[in-house]
Amino acid sequence: MKASSTQSPQAEVSAETIGALINLSGRQRMLSQRIVLQMLLASRGDPAARDIARKCLSTFESAHSDLVTGNECLPGAFSGALQQLYFGNARADARIREFIAQARAAIDAPTAETTWRASSLDALVAQATPILELLQAVTQAYQQEMHCCEVGARKRQADLVERLSSISMQANIVAMNARVSAARAGECGREFSVITQVLADIIKEMDQLVRHLVGSSNASKRSSRH
What whole-number percentage of the chain has pLDDT above 70?
73
How many Cβ atoms sit within 10 Å of the Cβ of residue 80? 12
Contacts of 212 (CB under 8 A, 6+ apart): none
Q: How confident is the model at residue 2 (pLDDT cuts 50, 70, 90)?
A: very low
pTM beyond 0.85, yes or no: no
Please give the full DSSP string across 2-23, using - where no structure is assigned: ----SS-TT----HHHHHHHHH
Q: Tell me how crowded residue 141 is: count the other CB atoms within 10 A of its CB.
A: 21
CB neighbourhood size of 212 (10 A): 11
pLDDT at 1 over 60: no
pLDDT of 4 above 50: no
What pLDDT score was predicted for residue 9? 44
Q: Is pLDDT above 50 for 5?
A: no
* Angle CA 75–76–82, to nearest 5: 120
Residue 222 has pLDDT above 60, yes or no: no
Half-sphere exposure of 183 (CA within 13 A, CB side): 7
Predicted local distance difference test score (pLDDT) of residue 193: 65
Q: Indicate whether 81 pLDDT > 50.
A: yes
Q: How many CA atoms lie within 13 A of 115 on its CB side?
A: 0
Q: CA–CA distance from 138 to each of 18, 132, 134, 145, 222 (Å)?
A: 13, 10, 6, 11, 28
Q: What is the pLDDT of residues 119-174, one digit of tens each?
A: 889 999 999 999 999 999 999 999 999 998 887 667 777 776 777 777 767 777 77
For the chain, the average pLDDT equals 82
Mean pLDDT of 178-189: 68
Are 175 and 199 in contact by the 8 Å Cβ rule? The answer is yes
CA triplet 209, 213, 216: central angle to 5 degrees?
A: 140
